[in-house]
Amino acid sequence: MMMVQSVFETYKSNERVTYVSISPQMFSMLAKLNINDKDPEAKVFLDLVSQINTFKLLRTYEPTISDDFSDWTQDYVKTNQLSELMQVREDQTTVYFFAALSENENIVNQLVMLVQDDNDNADPDYRNQTVLLYVDGKIDLERIASLVQKLDIPAGEELKKLKGKVKI
């Protein structure tokens, strides 16, 4: 099994990369917070975080680093036999979703998402945004889409579209 840490460890301190890592301990603490469980959004959030073990994200605008993210994704997917759930191409953005499927519909054990945005009309500093997301746990695709949208991460809407499309 290929190490998840490799690409994330390589780039977590790189000044040309945004790095987000939420540890299992943080998810455990969030799940134990005294949040109003009568609030439907809070309940969805608590249910989600109690099932996530790892959440890692990398974002860059640097083309050579983007290539590394893409290469790592292809290698990881092949080595770990993840299934491609969906590929979305809209304008200059392509989004790839890969997962290790569970026996339950709409639940995956791992989710890898790669977003590549090649917008030649954007500001030169922001033309080639690439986002790599890795989530491990018992992941409800509908709920992870809500979390991704709340964190304002690209492709939250595409994740929502996966609901009902994952079948074993």
At 86, the pLDDT band (50, 70, 90 cuts) reads confident
Phi-psi region of 152 (alpha: psi -120 to 50; beta: other; left: phi over 0): left
pLDDT one-digit tens code per residue, 104-133: 767 888 999 999 987 666 566 656 789 999
Specify the pLDDT at position 141.
73
Higher-scoring residue by pLDDT: 89, 10: 10
Specify the pLDDT at position 168.
33
